[in-house]
Structure 1
Amino acid sequence: MPGEAPQDYSITHNRDVVSIRQTIRVLAQQCRLSLVDQTKMITAASELARNTLVYGGGGVVRAGLVERDGRRGLAALFEDSGPGIEDVDLAMTDGWTSGGGLGLGLSGARRLVDEFDLTSEVGVGTTVTIIKWAR
C-alpha cells in the first residue's frame, strides 16, 4: 500500500531473479496496473535484476508502492557494488548489448517504464530506479 515502507530483496542467485519477477507481479497487481503495464514492469525488473546479478555481482532491490501528486505507482530500485558502467551513454544506446540477457538492454528497460534513473560510478557500482504509474 502507498505509504508503507518499501521492502528489500537480495539478488545473489538466479533464483532471486525469478523471485523478484514474482514480487513485482504481486506489487503491480496491488497497484492496480493494467495487465499490459504489469507485463512491462515485470519485464523491465527482470532485465535489471539479471543485470544486477550478472554485471554487478549481486545486490539488492528495494521495491514498493509509491504515491505522488495523487497518483499511485510501483517503484523498484536496483543497487549493486559492482564494477560500474564505464560508458553509460553507450550502455543506454538502442541495440547495444554486452551479450546474453533478454536482449532488451538498459534502453529497452527504460522504454518499458514511466520513469528511469541510472547512476553508475566505475569501481563503486550502479543504481537504477524505475517507476510505472497506474493509469
Structure 2
Amino acid sequence: MIEEMRVAVSRDADIVTARQLGRELAAKVGFVGSDLTLIATAISEVARNIISYADNGEILLGATSRDGREGLVVVAQDHGPGIPDIELAMRDGYSTGRSLGLGLPGARRLMDEFEIVSELGRGTTVTMRKWRR
C-alpha cells in the first residue's frame, strides 16, 4: 500500500469520516466522477454494518497497485459476533437486523473485488478493492 489511513468506527459520525477520507484518498489515486461516489457508498455500507452488528471496529483505507494498475483497498474489520452463514448474508434482502439487507451485497456490486472472512465469536473482515479504469 502506498498510503494508509485508519478510521475507528463506533458511532454514526465515524461512518461520515470514513466515507470522506475514502473519497479523498480515491481522488488522490486518480478516481473521478461516479467512481468516487461508488467507493464512498461501499465504505458507508461496511462501516454501517460494523456499528449495527459489532458495535465498533475500524476501516483501513489504502492506495494499492497490482500489475501496473492503481486502485484503492478498503478493509473493514470488527471483533463482533461474526456471521454464521456468509452465503446467506450476501443475498439481497437478507438481514438479521432491521435493515433492507442490501449492505454487503450492495458493497460487493459497487467494488471490483470483494472478500469476506468471518469467524463466530471473533469477528468479521471485509476486504474490497476498486481499480482505476
TM-score > 0.5, shorter chain as reference: yes
**Which residues of 2 match residues 70-85 of structure 1 at below 5 A?**
70-85=68-83
% identical aligned pairs: 47
Give the TM-score of the pair, scaled to structure 2. 0.93
Equivalent residue letter for 1:52: I
Aligned counterparts of 2:124 and 2:79: Cα–Cα separation in 1:
7
Aligned counterparts of 1:27 and 1:52: Cα–Cα separation in 2:
21
Give the TM-score of the pair, scaled to structure 1. 0.91
Distance 1:79 1:90, change over 3 A: same
5+ residue gaps in structure 2?
none
2:132 to 103, 127, 134: 134
- Aligned twin of 1:15: 13
Aligned counterparts of 2:76 and 2:94: Cα–Cα separation in 1:
20
Equivalent residue letter for 1:29: A
Deviates more, 1:121-130 or 1:89-98: 89-98
CA shift for structure 1 position 101? 4.7
2:52 to 29, 51, 54: 54
CA shift for structure 1 position 99? 4.3
Structure 1 residue ranges (4+ consecutive) displaced by more than 6 angstroms after TM superposition: none
Aligned counterparts of 2:99 and 2:21: Cα–Cα separation in 1:
20
1:107 to 105, 108, 122: 105
Q: What is the DSSP-based 3-state SS (H/G/I as helix, E as strand, rest coil) of the residue aligned with 1:75?
A: strand
Equivalent residue letter for 1:119: V
What are the Cα deviations for residues 86-133 of structure 1, in whole angstroms up to 9, with x where unaligned? 111110112223344575221111000000010001100000011111
Aligned counterparts of 1:92 and 1:109: Cα–Cα separation in 2:
10
Distance 1:17 1:31, change over 3 A: same
Aligned counterparts of 2:98 and 2:69: Cα–Cα separation in 1:
36
Q: What is the DSSP-based 3-state SS (H/G/I as helix, E as strand, rest coil) of the residue aligned with 1:55?
A: helix
Aligned counterparts of 1:69 and 1:48: Cα–Cα separation in 2:
27
- Aligned twin of 1:3: 2
Q: What is the DSSP-based 3-state SS (H/G/I as helix, E as strand, rest coil) of the residue aligned with 2:38?
A: helix
- Between Structure 1 and Structure 2, how many residues are aligned? 133
Equivalent pair of 1:47/1:102 in contact (CA under 8 Å)? no
